[in-house]
A and B are shown apart, each in its own frame.
Chain A
């Protein structure tokens, strides 16, 4: 190890801080996964112990599979998240491209207006949104959730992506124009691939709040066929009795899809910008 740039105490300190943070961050997740494999008594008697041969019990998972339609809830969550994500990324990138690329009257104002949603939480408008959904007959549909989540995700997406779009070389877009590509082809074929790392970042930020949201499913789509997984878990949380085995198992299962989506996007994050276009 080179001595000029690092010293042993400093390396130890850095690692100690990072390890401590990792433990704090992972502790609740590990606790949930660990206890989901234990019997009810074991959960309460020794919540911090890993499952042993005696305490190992899959009762939680059995309950989840039998009670309630968990595959449907999963499917609902997945559809809502993936479709919203797709729409946020598509419209976010398009709006960002328009704001960054074209000079028109009110450009800055439009940009500010679109970014307003970052500062004003969409939940403030819940009553109005509910009225709107009732009026348009969209209550208890996945469409209602997708529309709301798309609106919720767009401001941040536009804000981040327009910054990245500005950095894409004008020459590349102009070369496309001279070769006779339409503005849509320029956007989809030349600009979008270069935006991929930024889009992955936005995707991660957008996806997790949607997957975890309880508020809008509860208000807009509480019916059995449109329940999302976070809402579905609530049936095990009673006013007097809570089926902890089932809650923990359901939550453990709910982690898996987000993890998979995250891994897909983080690979994009790491791969980095396609080089060779400019310099």
Chain B
């Protein structure tokens, strides 16, 4: 229970085509993350799955049944929003129970499910409070609880961590991951944060400009990106792209991840000047202006002492460079 199939989903707002034919198969129990830059259509796609937007063409199938004309409440889905979207006039308990009450579930059943969910998310002390009396993290837990209570076929998350501060974001991310493990439910999660995508997903769908760039497991995207866009989007700091011609290669672009560059003061392939150094404790980011390869970012593990203006040599790991053709596709 809980598979999703999208067939050639297209969506236009007036003249603007936001989604240009999306196909996707989500297996039961999978954690799928839609990731992409803002405006790529990932939230629109999620809203189409939820039934909050109508697709211009294409089909949405949940558990094999076509749901194009089924209203959101009848699709067996639950959604968690970026802005929490709790009902301000209801207590936490009633916020969580409203969906079931609307669906006509018997009161003891509702009470039982609320109890289970609130224990799972440690919301027991707050059940009688209103959303205004809760902190941001607690509100988002209530929103997640509201989804859990419905026992949906599909959990939909629309950038749920974007409004939380950094520390809470890590905690809540952990809670969502545990929730997925415990419920083994199918989850679809939209984010623009690649760290969330990498840490949570079974499979990541990278979207750009209304079409799918690549679908794959996180490490698959990292190790074998299909094209320049995915290579640049996954990984932080961003992959270095060097014009093939400058290095005397026949390919259009060569990509090297910052962590696959080694730096040495005395010798190496590309000589350059340090422009800026970022010390992060666990690792150090060096921005180097090289003669041969242009501006590069190098990520060195641990502490590295270098002054801006000093001369260093950067050397790529030969097995870990990527080659891209004219259209940006990776050459194996």
Contact = CB atoms under 8 A, between A and B. Distances in A.
Nearest to B103: A180
B78 to A, nearest CB: 7
A54 interface: no
A26 interface: no
A261 to B, nearest CB: 25
Interface stretch (A117-125, A170-178, A223-231, A232-240): A170-178
Nearest to B102: A180
A189 B151 CA distance: 25
Contact of B79 (A178, A180, A189, A190): A178
A193 B132 CA distance: 14
B232 interface: no
A278 B84 contact: yes
Nearest to B74: A180
A278 B72 CA distance: 21
Interface in A141-193: 169, 171-172, 174-181, 189-190, 193
Nearest to A173: B85
Given A189-B89, A274-B88, A279-B163, A179 B98 contact: yes
Given A178-B73, A178-B79, A277 B99 contact: no
Contacts of B81: 171, 174-175
A276 interface: yes
B78 A178 contact: yes
A275 B83 CA distance: 12
Contacts of A194: 88
Interface residues of A, number: 21
Contact of A275 (B52, B82, B132, B146): B132
Nearest to A274: B88
Interface string B80-106: 011111111100000000110011000
B225 interface: no
Given A174-B79, A276-B132, A279-B83, A180 B52 contact: no
A279 to B, nearest CB: 6
A178 B99 contact: yes
Interface centre among B81, B85, B102, B103, by most chain A C-beta atoms within 10 angstroms, is: B85
Given A178-B77, A178-B99, A180-B102, A278 B130 contact: no
A179 B90 CA distance: 14
A130 to B, nearest CB: 45
A277 B102 contact: no
A208 B42 CA distance: 49
A277 B87 CA distance: 6
A171 B82 contact: yes
A179 B99 contact: yes
B11 to A, nearest CB: 13
A2 to B, nearest CB: 31
A190 B87 contact: yes
Interface in A253-279: 274-279
Given A177-B52, A179-B99, A276 B73 contact: no
Contact of B52 (A174, A278, A279): A174
A179 B76 CA distance: 10
B130 A175 contact: no
B73 A179 contact: yes
Contacts of B78: 178
A276 B130 contact: yes
B83 A278 contact: yes
A273 to B, nearest CB: 9
B133 to A, nearest CB: 7
B136 interface: yes
A169 B71 CA distance: 20
Contacts of B86: 175, 276-277
Contacts of B47: 174
Contacts of A193: 88-89
Given A174-B52, A179-B98, A180-B99, A277 B85 contact: yes
Interface in B116-169: 130-134, 136, 139, 146, 158, 163
Contacts of A180: 71-74, 99, 102-103
B50 A178 contact: yes
A275 B88 CA distance: 7
A97 B316 CA distance: 59
A174 B99 CA distance: 12
Contacts of B134: 276
A148 B264 CA distance: 85
Interface of B: 47, 50, 52, 71-74, 77-79, 81-89, 98-99, 102-103, 130-134, 136, 139, 146, 158, 163
19 contacts: A172-B85, A174-B47, A174-B50, A174-B72, A174-B85, A175-B79, A177-B52, A177-B72, A177-B73, A178-B77, A178-B78, A180-B71, A193-B89, A194-B88, A274-B88, A276-B134, A277-B131, A278-B83, A278-B84
Given A177-B72, A276-B132, 11 more contacts: A169-B83, A175-B79, A189-B89, A274-B132, A276-B131, A277-B85, A277-B86, A277-B131, A278-B84, A278-B85, A279-B136
Give me the 9 closest cross-chain CB pairs, A-B, nearest first: A276-B132, A180-B73, A171-B85, A180-B102, A179-B99, A171-B81, A175-B85, A276-B131, A277-B88
